[in-house]
Amino acid sequence: MAFRICCALFFAVARAGISAELNPLFQDNAVLQCEQRVLVWGVARDGEKIAVTFASQEVSTVATNGAWKIR
């Protein structure tokens, strides 16, 4: 599942030409707890829009102070 988050964010970043990154915690073989909300975070330039797609849901935010997070 975390791999899908990484892929979705990577393709969104590549398409938009922005410099957002996931926290290194989200990598291959990461384990996420079932039936729980997942906090996803990383770094990006201030004002950049970040969209994360996971399990058919898309959530977006804007980076502030060089960081972003989505729950």
Domain boundaries, the chain: 2-70
Spans in the chain with pLDDT lower than 70 = 1-18
Q: What is the pLDDT of residue 1?
A: 54
3-state SS, residue 9: helix
Secondary structure in 3-state letters for 13-70:
HHHHCCCCEECCCCCCCCCCCCCCCCCEEEECCCCCEEEEEECCEEEEEECECCEEEE
* Structure confidence at residue 23 (pLDDT): 86
pLDDT value of residue 12: 56
Q: Is the pTM of this model over 0.75?
A: no
- The predicted pLDDT at position 66 comes to 92
Residues 11-22 have pLDDT tens digits of 555 455 557 888
Q: What dihedral do alpha carbons 27, 62, 66, 1 form, nearest 10°?
A: -10
Residue 69, pLDDT score: 93
Under 8 Å between Cβ of 35 and 55: no
